[in-house]
Amino acid sequence: MKDVIVALDFQSKEEVVEFLKGFPEPIYTKVGMELFNREGPDIVRYLKAKGHKVFLDLKFHDIPNTVAGAVRSVASLDVDMLNVQAAGGIAMMEAGLAELKKQGKGTILLSITMLTSTNSEILKNELWIDHPLDDTVLHYAANTKKAGLPGVVCSALEVPLIKSHLGADFVTVTPGIRPAGDAKGDQARVVTPDQARSLGSDYIVVGRPITKNSDPYGAYRKIRAEFLGLED
């Protein structure tokens, strides 16, 4: 099911509670490192108790045994999505997935291919990866599928390439979404919600265009309608 995931890029539970007061129904939320490192597991428990779905965006990246342990430590939170870095390798991804299965959880485990703030210059000059960005993303996505994970976090611009090679049912969660006319901020590879729909994204992740808007719920409804092709 396609949906909009709202990135709760706040520093405290109090800010989250205040923000969500304007939303009359449960939504799909993303809890990242900024919020989780401040509030810990309790913020996830709060959101789940209120009926919200949670994508726990902690980007695990370590040796396989450590990643398995990290997955084990958050499995009891029953989040809807969790992620690891594809750059950690196939064995690391397999270890995380095996731990989820051992815990009997229905959490979707995804890998991150390349951050949407990464461009070709960073890839080559800072990360020392000489392959083109698209080729690298596809290779990481293929490794992800080989490890048994059902999908990836990637730029919407890469969705057609990924789905054409790995299948239409391979899940793509795409940050770097900006409504037409909005500033890119620190993102490099961005698209509009309508473009993300056309490119085939399964989920889009949107933060500042909603959280920094003077009417967050109105912005959310407009972006969701545009992404899902609905009348707002």
Selection from 172, 196, 177, 201 nearest residue 187 by Cα: 177
Q: What kind and span of H or E run contains 145? A: helix 133-146
Structure tokens at 202: 């399964």
| DSSP assignment letter at 111 | E
Rounded distance, CA 208 to CA 201, Å? 19
Catalytic residue among 50, 59, 124, 222: 59
Rounded distance, CA 135 to CA 190, Å? 18
Rounded distance, CA 150 to CA 53, Å? 18
Is 13 designated active site?
A: no
Selection from 101, 100, 90 nearest residue 64 by Cα: 90
Residues known to be catalytic: 59
